[in-house]
Amino acid sequence: MERAMAIRIHYVVDVSSSRFTVQAFASGILSAMGHNPRIGIRIFTGTVDFSAEAAQASNFRLSINSSSLGVLDDVSDKDRRDIEKMMNEQVLEPSKYPDIIFDAQSISIVRIDAALFSATLNGALTFRGITRNQTIAARIAVFDDMLRASGEFTLIQSDFGIKPISVAGGALKVKDELKLSFEMVARRQD
C-alpha cells in the first residue's frame, strides 16, 4: 500500500510582521570613531511551499526591492542621508538593479520536534546583476496557518562586484563581509 503524498501548503511572507536587516562593520585606522551601520530592508516578498507532516519544503523565492534599504540606527538626519546616499549610489544602484532575488533550488528540512524544524536552503542569489550560490540556514516554527523562520548569513560584497565604501582616504571603510539577519513570518494562502 503506497503512502499518500503529504500536501505542501503555500505560504506568503507577511512583510509587516517580518524583520530583515543588514549589519555592516567599520574597519581602518578611524574605525573606533566610526560606527557599524544597521540597515533595514523594508520592502520584500517571499513564498514557500511547506509540509510540516513530511518535513519538506520547495519553491522558496525571496525578492527584495533594492531601493527600500534604509539606516535603522539612531544617527543624525545628515548622517542618515549621507550613509543612504553612498549606499544607493555606490553599492545598490537601484535604478540599474531594482531587485535582489534569492531562489532556493534545494531545501533540506530536519524535524527538531513536532512544530520546530531546521532548514538549509541552497540557492542562487542575484545581486547587482551577478548570480552566486548562497546557502542560508534557518530555524522554522509552525503555528496553525503561519510559519516563523529566523536565521542569519553572510554576504561578501566583492563577490558581487562591489567595492566596499571607504571615506577619509581609506582611514574609515566598511568591511567586505556583511551579516544579514531575518525573522520572517509567512501566512498560509489557499
Between these two residues, 54 and 78, which has the higher pLDDT value?
Answer: 54
Mean pLDDT of 56-65: 97
Q: CA distances (Å), 85 to each of 2, 47, 50, 79, 149, in order?
A: 59, 31, 39, 10, 31
For the chain, give the mean pLDDT: 88
pLDDT of residue 48: 97
Beta bridge partners of residue 185, listed in sequence order: 148
Q: Residue 128: left (phi > 0), alpha (psi -120 to 50), or beta?
A: left
pLDDT band at 1 (very low <50, low <70, confident <90, very high): very low
In the chain, the percentage of residues whose pLDDT exceeds 90 is 68
Structural domains of the chain sorted by starting position, each given as residue range(s) with its CATH number in brackets: 9-188 (2.40.128.110)
On the question of pLDDT at 36 being above 90, the answer is: no
What is the pLDDT averaged over residues 14-40? Answer: 78
Mean pLDDT of 151-157: 96
Give the C-alpha separation, 160 to 101, whole Å: 13
**pLDDT of amino acid 73:** 81
Q: What is the mean pLDDT of residues 93-113?
A: 96
- Give this prediction's pTM: 0.87
Which of 4-8, 43-47, 105-109, 112-116 has the weakest average pLDDT? Answer: 4-8
